[in-house]
Amino acid sequence: MFNIGTMFFYQLLVALLLNVCVTVHGNSNATSLKRTELEEMKNKNNCKLCTCVGLIADCTSRNLKSLPQDLPQDITTLNLTNNSITHLPDGLLGQLYQSLKVLDIDGNKITAFGQYVFDGLQNLEFLGIGANPFKPELFHHLVYKPLKNIRTIFVSRFGDESKHDSRIPLFNAFEGLQNSTIEAIIYEHITFVPFLLEKKYMQFFQNCHLKKLVLPENKIYAFEPGFSKFMPHLEIVDVSRNLIQGTMPVNNKVLEIYLMQFLKVIKIEGNTQG
């Protein structure tokens, strides 16, 4: 015979046992969940294809065909130069590695730089994208816009493999740098086609503090008068190895230098004498 008290006791015991079972069951699920999460995390951080030291991932010359997705997600430097990456999906870099400050993808096989390719890289300070066979029509004029903390953009050897004039989309992309933190533009050897350095491109820098404009080994034959009024903070202008001729730009130069009160260095060697 059970009295109420005993029944209550047994019910309590059963309830407790059930609870323990549920708890153990729940825990085991939680543990297994945690274990897979941990494994995923480990896989995520295993840096199988590159060399990761601290917050630097060195992925240079690894014959990579796509962006490695298993690097530590807090890396600040990612060097992908000299690989065979053909495509960067929209926003992937920013989703995987949003702490990046330095990204170098020079020397790959990327043909398209769409509007959203650098989305989410709001900490990026240095971007290197040279020596990629991009198609001018696939280089978006707002490609740099997501880079809210950008300081330096380095483009070398663009257009070598292209019959088009790859200069135009690269200059059009200054539009995405309006009101930005950009300090240095380095565009070297980006075209074979002679051109005038037009002020319509430079106007996008009027609210910026651009200090360095480095455009060596191009085919600039002249500056459009007034091009520098949008860059009053310029300290270094490098137009060496271009086609600038002696006579006409001398007058311009006087005017331009007068306008550029911070100018310290102007490199013009290796131009044709006029």
Ligand X SMILES: *[C@@H]1O[C@H](CO)[C@@H](O)[C@H](O)[C@H]1NC(C)=O
By CB under 6 A, tell whether 63 contacts ligand X.
yes
- Does residue number 36 form part of the binding site for ligand X (CB under 6 A)? no
One-letter amino acid identity for 108?
N
Q: Which of 59, 78, 102, 190: binder of ligand X (CB under 6 A)? A: 102
**Which of 189, 191, 180, 257 is CA-nearest to residue 223?**
257
Q: How many residues bind ligand X (CB under 6 A)?
A: 14
Q: How far is the CB of 174 from ligand X (least distance, A)?
A: 12
Q: Should residue 79 be labelled a site residue for ligand X when binding is judged by CB under 6 A?
A: yes
The residue whose Cβ lies closest to ligand X is 61
Which CB, 133 or 255, lies closer to ligand X? 133
Of 128, 130, 146, 169, which one interacts with ligand X (CB under 6 A)?
128
* Cβ distance to ligand X smaller for residue 131 or 213: 131
The bridge status of strand 102-104 relative to strand 184-188 is unpaired
Residue with smaller CB distance to ligand X, 25 or 42: 25
Residue 60 touches ligand X, criterion: CB under 6 A: yes
Burial class (CB in 10 A: 0-12, 13-18, 19+), 32: exposed
> Minimal distance in Å, beta carbon 96 to ligand X?
18
Sheet holding 184-188, edge to edge: 51-53, 56-58, 77-79, 102-104, 126-128, 152-156, 184-188, 212-214, 236-238, 265-267
- The footprint of ligand X on residues 154-193 (CB under 6 A) is 178-179
Phi, psi of 265 (to 5 degrees): -135, 130
The smaller minimum CB distance to ligand X, of residues 202 and 220, is found at 202
Quickly list DSSP for 158-195: -STT-SS-THHHHHHGGGGGTT----EEEEES--SS-E
Q: Which residues bind ligand X (CB under 6 A)?
A: 29, 60-61, 63, 79, 81-82, 102, 104, 126, 128, 178-179, 207
